[in-house]
Amino acid sequence: MKDLEKMLQQLQSLGSMGDPFKVMKSFNLPTNVKMPNIDEMMHQSVEQAMSHMPLPSSLPTSPSPQQAYEVIELMNYIIVKVEIPEEVSVENVTVTLGNCRLVIKGLPQQDPFVVSLPVQPSSKNVSAQYRDRMLEIRLQKKVEDHAQEIFIDY
């Protein structure tokens, strides 16, 4: 970690006039690293850095059932996939959209299941489809308003 901080300080001290390759050579990094190994090297570096950090005390000590879901953000859409357990009848499931989140009721847990969305979607052009125990909710992103001239009455 200290090597990384040292490297960052040296790179910052060079500014735009320095040669960053000289700084990189001073760290004696392996020069024969192949592209597939870079990913592995980064993974090991992150694991090593994280091994010294304490775990947050707020983590639950007993395992609790978690609802399986996935949020996929595309250019114009947000897709939310929620796994519906076998014992749940999809006819009893309700989905509500509001305040940049989906609220799903009718699942086994007592409280409604809330999915936070990356952006507020449009309330139009929304759809949901259930197939093979998977509920897929497709939400169109709000279209950015283009600049518009405002006329002044006088």
Please indicate, yes or no, whether residues 25 and 76 belong to a single structural domain of this protein: no
Instruction: Show the low-confidence residues of the chain (pLDDT under 50).
Output: 16, 55-64
Please indicate, yes or no, whether residues 75 and 36 belong to a single structural domain of this protein: no
Model confidence pLDDT, tens digit, residues 77-100:
999 999 998 888 899 999 999 889
- What gap in Å lies between CA 86 and CA 81, rounded to an integer? 16
What are the residues facing 105 on neighbouring strands? 94
56 domain-assigned: no
- What is the pLDDT at residue 82? 93
83 domain-assigned: yes
pTM greater than the 0.85 cutoff: no
- What is the pLDDT at residue 109? 77
Please indicate, yes or no, whether residues 40 and 79 belong to a single structural domain of this protein: no
Q: What is the DSSP letter of 68?
A: -
Range of the domain at 131: 69-141
- What gap in Å lies between CA 140 and CA 154, rounded to an integer? 40
Cβ atoms of 60 and 105 within 8 Å: the answer is: no
Please indicate, yes or no, whether residues 36 and 80 belong to a single structural domain of this protein: no
59 domain-assigned: no
- What is the pLDDT at residue 142? 85
Please indicate, yes or no, whether residues 36 and 88 belong to a single structural domain of this protein: no
Please indicate, yes or no, whether residues 78 and 129 belong to a single structural domain of this protein: yes
- What is the pLDDT at residue 68? 85
Nearest C-alpha neighbor of 141 from the set 94, 82, 95, 79: 79
27 domain-assigned: yes
Please indicate, yes or no, whether residues 125 and 87 belong to a single structural domain of this protein: yes
55 domain-assigned: no
Please indicate, yes or no, whether residues 43 and 91 belong to a single structural domain of this protein: no
Give me the number of domains the chain comprises: 2
What are the strands of the beta sheet with 134-141, ordered from one edge?
69-73, 77-83, 134-141, 121-131
- What is the pLDDT at residue 22? 59
Please indicate, yes or no, whether residues 37 and 79 belong to a single structural domain of this protein: no
Identify the three-state secondary structure at position 150. coil
CATH of the domain at 99: 2.60.40.790
148 domain-assigned: no
